[in-house]
Structure formats: structure tokens, C-alpha cells
Amino acid sequence: MFQDLKNSTFKANEVFLRAVFVLRKHYFSIAGLCFLLFVTSNLSSYLAFTTQETLDFSFRVLLCLLFLTLFFGTQLVLIKRAILLARGIEHSYLKNYIPSTRQFISFLLGFVVYSLLLGIVYFVTSILTFPLVYMGASVDTVSYEVNPFLTGMFMLFVLMRITFFPYFIVDKEFNLFRSFRMSLALTRGNVMKIFLLVLALGTTYLLQVLSEYLSYFILAKIFSFINTFVVIPSVSIVMAMAYNDMMDEYSGEEDPKLLENII
């Protein structure tokens, strides 16, 4: 059982170096799962575009559910595989990787809750920034630049705090809201380190988005390839390493309270 609350810390550079060592040994198993995510995402988008007028609605709904199950289920398998590798467990039974129905639903509900919070935050920032219109700012500037920026910054902070909720779902089999609270407690005092890890590994993704925005499609495809086979596998292992390190040092409550760990 966990004991009194203590902020967990980890050294980002050591985490990264250990993650590189593990990834070199088990690259193909991690990259294979990432490739499956890539194929599932692109194939679902392609089928949604090409079968929009040829298939009836019910069949398209079934296809959508199938691809959602494959995509999010593979993500959970990837997280579980990364956690075990970070602990030095190179081989395990197949059943230990396959998520249960409860874990899968909790994972999906996590994204639903995050989306709802995103809408609430955007609504609040719209109200708070509305006086800027009376101060001379244009409506388009406030609506399409100021509000999205403020919402994005706030939700990025939220994402850093709850980033480990899937790890608690697949590793500890906690329910969604307990996983949220545990992630808040675990990341308390470590947000900047997590942000720097994700930023360092996510630079290629930012370059991909920029290339797509500037219509450099060939360059965007190159960055997309790098993301799929280098960045995402690296992020998977790095975050699993950080999770294990913080859990080793964590001695907080077994079921932490929400308000005590927000700040």
C-alpha cells in the first residue's frame, strides 16, 4: 500500500538514455505495433473517404467501431509492452498484453472526458476574452487566434498532468477517475520534465504539421515516416521509463484526492 504523499522525481536525461538502450534491443516489437497504428489510422481514413457513397450507413458504423477497437486496443497493447520492457520483462504471456473490456472502455472514456473538458475550457475562455472586442480587437482575431491559443495552452498543461492515466488503467487496472487522480499525484512537481521529454521527442511531429500547413507534402510524408518508426516508439519507451521511475519513488496515497493534487 502506498504511504504518505511524496512528490516523485526523475532525471529526464537518464530516462532518455535508458530508453534508447531498451529500444535498440526491442525495436521491431515496438515499431511493429506503431506501424499497425499507422496502417489502421490511414486505412480507416481511406475507407471512410472512398466508401462514403457506396456502403450503407449501418455497415460504415460497423467499420468505424472495428477500426476504433483496433486502433485504441493496439495503443493499450503498446503501453503494456513498453511498461514491461521498462521493467526488464522481455517476454510475457499474450493474455498479459490484451486489454480487458473494462480497460478498453475506461481508455475510450478518458478521451471523451478530455474532449468535454476541452469544450468547457474553450467556452470559458470565449467569455473571458469577449471584452477584448470592445477594446478594439477584431472578432476573428479573438475567435480564431486568442481563444484557441489560450485553450491550447491550458489543455496542454492538463494533458501533461493526466498523461499517465492509461498506464494506471493497463498496469494497475484502476478505473478511469482513480487513474486520473493517480496521474495528477504522480506528475505533481514533474510537469516541466515531462513537457521537455515530449517536446524533445515531438519536434519531428511539429515539423510534419508545419510542412503540411506550408503544403510541402513530400517533406510532410518524410516526417510522418520518421514519426511512425522513430518518434512514437521512442516516446512509448521514454514515457514508460518515466512512469516506472516515478512509481518507484512515489509513496503517496493509494487513492489520492483530486483537489489536493491539482496544484
Q: How far apart are CA 233 and CA 34, in angstroms?
A: 7
At 201 the pLDDT is 62
The total number of structural domains that make up the chain: 1
Query: What cell does 244 get?
Result: 516506472
Give the residue from 158, 75, 89, 174 showing the smallest Cα distance to 122.
158
Quick check: is 112 in a domain?
no
pLDDT at 178: 92
Sole residue written with cell 489520492? 256
User: Is residue 138 domain-resident?
Assistant: no
- Does residue 222 fall inside a structural domain? yes
CB of 261 closer than 8 Å to CB of 179: no
Structural domain includes residue 215:
yes
The answer to the question of residue 240 being in a domain is yes
Instruction: Give the integer Cα–Cα distance in Å for 39 and 182.
Output: 32
The angle that helices 232-249 and 57-86 make with each other, rounded to 10 degrees, is 50
25 within some domain? yes
CA nearest neighbour of 162 among 238, 34, 82, 261: 261
- For residue 154, the surrounding DSSP H or E stretch is helix 147-162
The pLDDT of residue 7 is: 41
Instruction: Spell out the per-residue pLDDT of the chain, length 263, in tens.
Output: 333 334 445 666 778 788 888 888 888 889 888 888 888 877 877 777 776 666 677 777 788 888 888 888 999 999 999 999 999 888 888 888 888 999 999 999 999 999 999 999 999 999 998 888 888 888 888 888 889 899 988 988 888 899 999 999 999 999 999 999 999 988 887 787 778 777 766 777 778 778 877 878 788 888 888 887 888 888 888 889 989 888 887 777 777 877 666 66
Is the CB of residue 174 less than 8 Å from the CB of residue 168? yes
Q: For residue 37, is it within any domain? A: yes
The whole domain housing 194 covers: 12-106+167-262
CB of 184 within 8 A of CB of 151? no
d(C-alpha 234, C-alpha 20), whole Å: 7
Entry field: residues in the chain: 263
Q: Maximum distance among all alpha carbons in the chain?
A: 63
